[in-house]
């Protein structure tokens, strides 16, 4: 499938609604809730069976997804602020919690789930600049370069990645309560 050309049109999300998608162990989309399909601009049939990078925005640094995959592949979870792209090239910002699902019997990872909600404006304002810098570095010196820069930035702030995201999102408590409730519904 052709990748859309990004536009500067922002899709404003309903702060009360959530976007949920699931993938298999390889990151192939197996499920999306109604809001995921609606916001993406694709038909459900165009999404299911496709790699999840179908909604990847070119402004997202590779290093963030690397960090995310490193965490979920060993059964962990991680929160990230993500800029996604709809079929018409529009963008939208979400706070996303990525989680892994394991088989109850053999404990193998069977797939992953992502829960998303509209990102707070001040968090977007800050992370947008950080991501711009990381993408710029990646063009010059690849993911090693952006990783080193990001680690250096966090060290300067005296924060771990999780602490930094907590601070940015502000009311992580609220997001956590929400994502935990969603997990009970979507598993």
Ligand X SMILES: Cc1cc2nc3c(=O)[nH]c(=O)nc-3n(C[C@H](O)[C@H](O)[C@H](O)COP(=O)(O)O)c2cc1C
Q: Which positions touch ligand X (CB under 6 A)?
A: 21, 23, 27, 52-53, 55-56, 60, 62, 65, 82, 84, 98, 112-114
Helix (H) or strand (E) holding 88: none
The CB density around residue 120, as the number of other CB atoms within 10 Å, is 18
In 3D, which of 114, 95, 88 has the Cα closest to residue 13? 95
Closer of 67 and 154 to ligand X (Cβ) = 67
Q: How far is the CB of 99 from ligand X (least distance, A)?
A: 8
Closer of 20 and 168 to ligand X (Cβ) = 20
Rounded to a whole number, what is the distance in angstroms from the first to the last CA of the chain?
Answer: 30
Closer of 5 and 156 to ligand X (Cβ) = 5
Question: What are the E-state strand segments in 13-159?
Answer: 19-24, 29-32, 78-85, 91-102, 109-118
Segment 47-56 long-range contacts (CB within 8 Å, at least 24 positions apart)? 50/1, 51/26, 51/27, 52/21, 52/23, 52/27, 52/28, 53/27, 54/1, 54/29, 55/84, 55/85, 55/86, 56/84, 56/85
Q: How far is the CB of 102 from ligand X (least distance, A)?
A: 14
Q: How far is the CB of 67 from ligand X (least distance, A)?
A: 11
Q: How far is the CB of 84 from ligand X (least distance, A)?
A: 5
Q: How far is the CB of 98 from ligand X (least distance, A)?
A: 6
Closer of 109 and 159 to ligand X (Cβ) = 109
Closer of 42 and 156 to ligand X (Cβ) = 42
């Amino acid at each position: 499938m052709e990748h859309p050309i990004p536009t500067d049109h922002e899709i404003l999300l309903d702060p009360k609604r959530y976007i949920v998608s699931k993938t298999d162990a390889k990151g192939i989309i197996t499920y999306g809730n109604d809001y995921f399909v609606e916001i993406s601009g694709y038909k459900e049939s165009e999404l299911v069976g496709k790699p999840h990078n179908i909604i990847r925005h070119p402004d997202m640094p590779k290093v963030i997804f690397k960090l995310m995959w490193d965490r979920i592949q060993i059964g962990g979870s991680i929160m990230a602020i993500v800029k996604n792209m709809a079929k018409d090239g529009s963008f939208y910002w979400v706070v996303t919690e990525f989680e892994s699902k394991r088989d109850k019997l053999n404990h193998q990872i069977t797939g992953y789930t992502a829960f998303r909600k509209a990102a707070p404006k001040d968090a977007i304002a800050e992370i947008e600049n950080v991501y711009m810098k990381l993408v710029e570095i990646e063009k010059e010196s690849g993911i090693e370069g952006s990783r080193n820069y990001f680690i250096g930035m966090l060290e300067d702030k005296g924060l771990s990645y999780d602490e930094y995201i907590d601070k940015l999102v502000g009311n992580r408590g609220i997001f956590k309560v929400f994502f935990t409730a969603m997990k009970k519904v979507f598993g």
